[in-house]
Structure 1
Amino acid sequence: MGSDALKKNAKKPIMGRILMVCFILATILMIFVVYKMSLGRIYPVTANKQFISINNGETYSGLIDKLAERNKVEFPWVLKAYRKLFIQSQLKAGVYEIHSGMTVKEVFDLMSDADNAQMNKIMVIDGTTSKQLLERLKKDPNVVKTVVNLPESEMMKALDIPYANLEGLLAPDTYFFMKGETDKKIILHLYHRQMDTLEREWQARSHGLPYKNKYEALIMASIVKKETSLDRELTQVSGVFARRLQQGMRLQTDPTVIYGMGDDYNGKITKQNLRTPTAYNTYTITGLPPTPIALPDEKSINAVMHPDDSKNVYFVATGNGGHKFSENLTDHNQAVQEYLSVLRSKKDGVTP
């Protein structure tokens, strides 16, 4: 074999090794770049610190997708792989304090331990009842119980709130309290928020409302909230009930009946339920029930202070979302028949 051939053969393994080294270096560089752009990326915060709120049942996968949509993280598949390999626990609900300069990896490691949650998130959903909120506070391990386990009268006395119960008096919203906060401080904060809203709206109310005081308006706001979930209908429903009161008509609203049934309510209202007198059955009593029936939000309170100026005194569900409002009983009965027709069509599998 000639010397040229030997040289060529000697170069082949050298070139192969060089290519292999280049490939390994390129791979390492690519891994490093991907890491720096994903797990090693500095998590963007708008100030020195911010909070990330994690709800019960939220998953790492869902959180990663949400953060990716907001351009908070890159290469979501890398984050999901990291979580699967190195974070065995489930995502813990809570509020986490993220400081400027933390990497995405540090943020995820932080949220893998609920003990790192700086604050306790408390959601007060509009239209739910004070009883439901109190039950959540009783079960919340991050809330110190000082009043929620007392009998109702003793609890109201301890809170120094001049009403029979808390229904309607707590402002719906999402709140963040320090872990270990007392139930009393939480309740009073929600109470003062609602009272501030009620006072402000009462002072700016329209003329001629059929309410003797702002508490009666709050009672009506809770009824309006339970009658419709559509913001556009709030003033219409408010107007119907205001005119009924002004004309001496009974309110005849099912949510009050349900509230008066308490734990006996099983998801259905019978004719007998409508005939059975309770302090809240507006089919048997004239005027307002004695207390609110739920926690109304600011929109509902505002709608009660500014009802529409139509002549409608009736409304019924359409069966397809929303309600149909009527000025007289004849039109209302026709709307009821249309509603029943829609229900029959749906039951038969026919699209109306």
Structure 2
Amino acid sequence: MRRFLVLIVLAAIAAGGGAFWWLHQPIVAGPQALELAIEPGTTPRGVARDVVAAGAQADARMLYAWFRLSGQDRGIKAGNYELPPGTTPHGLLQKLVRGEESLRAITLVEGWNWRQVRQALAREEQLRQDAAALSDEALMTQLGRPGVHPEGRFFPDTYTFAKGSSDVALLRRALHAMDRRLEAAWAQRAPDTPLKSADEALILASIVEKETGRASDRAQIAGVFANRLRIGMLLQTDPTVIYGLGDKFDGNLRRRDLQTDTPWNTYTRSGLPPTPIAMPGKASLVAAVQPEATRALYFVARGDGTSQFSTSLDEHNRAVNRYQRGQQ
């Protein structure tokens, strides 16, 4: 009966041209936007009540009547919305029907390791922290990759998300993004690559990511590692040693660290480490499968972000003395 009366009132207003005026009058006042959360399964009547409960200056019955008269009431989508100052009943319905949720963004940075990813997700207050209670093993199982180590498996990029959405859902998107990038890179691998699988390409790409100080050196750095893999030479790359040290690394890599065996120590173990050591970006993925043709077997940082490449140990030692020890 009440709904019928409201419809009659609206019809009367419409007859006098008042409905158009009401539909375009702001129902959100003040300098701050209102936050509106619509749960799945909420009825149009419940949505109208939620709008008013969020702080909108409107009659829930009038809003519900408008939803019904518009014929779009069944098209309202659940989600998290921001209603900026000046929002009108007309604009509100359009936003809800289009599903124009308020979106946040988080950036997963190239070269981050899994611990850093976990920390970034935990800091994001607008994400629902479902992954926090899960071990790495349980999380990867939930993501459909039981037994897979999470390191390097998520593509570094900026991801938008609706407030209150799950961090697991965001990780699933990043996981699938890496799947696509890795598959595309592996499909264009060089015919003479020493890599045996896409997983090996991901591992090498993560090392290239951590070793590259300047983008222009990336393909040649990958070429050095490819050369070493071909001849069975130890990779001897510091980032893998640092990764293997974990929390024990204090920022200063010592000789004893290079001699301390871990599964990731490429000074004590041949070939690639068992897992990636970080998240590689697209450029590092491509470099790993399409390394620059080079005779170089060594490189050392010059101190300006670039690297000095050498084909022999003597030449490399001279470069180390010059760029690392300051000896001319």
Alpha-carbon deviation of 1:163? 4.7
Alpha-carbon deviation of 1:276? 0.5
1:295 aligned residue (279, 288, 292): 279
Match of 2:216 in 1: 232
2:245 aligned residue (257, 261, 282): 261
Q: Structure 2 regions of 5+ residues with no counterpart? A: 1-80, 88-100
Larger Rg: 1
1:325/1:177 Cα in 2 relative to 1: closer, same or farther (>3 Å)? Answer: same
Name the SS of the counterpart of 2:179 in structure 1: helix
Task: Tell me if structure 2 keeps the 8 A contact 1:148–1:155.
Answer: no
Match of 2:123 in 1: 139
Match of 1:241 in 2: 225
Q: Structure 1 regions of 5+ residues with no counterpart? A: 1-95, 103-116, 346-352
Q: TM-score, normalised by structure 1?
A: 0.63
Match of 1:206 in 2: 190
Task: Tell me if structure 2 keeps the 8 A contact 1:242–1:307.
Answer: yes
Match of 2:65 in 1: none
Match of 1:284 in 2: 268
1:118 aligned residue (80, 102, 120): 102
Alignment deviations for residues 186-224 of structure 1 (CA, whole Å, 9 cap, x no partner) = 000000001100001101111111111001100000000
Is 1:178 the counterpart of 2:162? The answer is yes
Matches of 1:97 and 1:230, distance apart in 2: 41
Match of 1:339 in 2: 323
Aligned length: 234
Alpha-carbon deviation of 1:297? 0.2
Alignment deviations for residues 198-251 of structure 1 (CA, whole Å, 9 cap, x no partner) = 001101111111111001100000000000131111100000001101111000
1:322 aligned residue (302, 306, 322): 306
Match of 2:175 in 1: 191
Quick one: which amino acid aligns to residue 198 of structure 1? Answer: L
Alpha-carbon deviation of 1:149? 2.3
Q: What root-mean-square deviation, in Å, do the aligned CA atoms of Structure 1 and Structure 2 show? A: 2.1
Alpha-carbon deviation of 1:331? 1.0
Deviates more, 1:177-186 or 1:319-328: 319-328
Matches of 1:154 and 1:173, distance apart in 2: 24
Alignment deviations for residues 314-335 of structure 1 (CA, whole Å, 9 cap, x no partner) = 0011123311001111111111
1:269/1:119 Cα in 2 relative to 1: closer, same or farther (>3 Å)? Answer: same
Alpha-carbon deviation of 1:152? 1.6
Task: Tell me if structure 1 keeps the 8 A contact 2:261–2:268.
Answer: yes
Is 1:215 the counterpart of 2:203? The answer is no
Task: Tell me if structure 2 keeps the 8 A contact 1:147–1:158.
Answer: no
Task: Tell me if structure 1 keeps the 8 A contact 2:159–2:170.
Answer: no
Matches of 1:97 and 1:181, distance apart in 2: 15
Matches of 1:273 and 1:196, distance apart in 2: 36
Name the SS of the counterpart of 1:143 in structure 2: coil
- Which of structure 1's runs of 4+ aligned residues deviate more than 6 A? 96-99
Name the SS of the counterpart of 1:120 in structure 2: strand
Task: Tell me if structure 2 keeps the 8 A contact 1:138–1:149.
Answer: no
Quick one: which amino acid aligns to residue 281 of structure 2? Answer: D
Name the SS of the counterpart of 2:149 in structure 1: coil
Matches of 2:193 and 2:132, distance apart in 1: 35
Quick one: which amino acid aligns to residue 287 of structure 1? Answer: G
Task: Tell me if structure 1 keeps the 8 A contact 2:137–2:147.
Answer: no
Quick one: which amino acid aligns to residue 182 of structure 2? Answer: L
1:162/1:205 Cα in 2 relative to 1: closer, same or farther (>3 Å)? Answer: farther
Match of 2:290 in 1: 306
1:232/1:162 Cα in 2 relative to 1: closer, same or farther (>3 Å)? Answer: farther
Name the SS of the counterpart of 2:106 in structure 1: strand
1:118/1:210 Cα in 2 relative to 1: closer, same or farther (>3 Å)? Answer: same
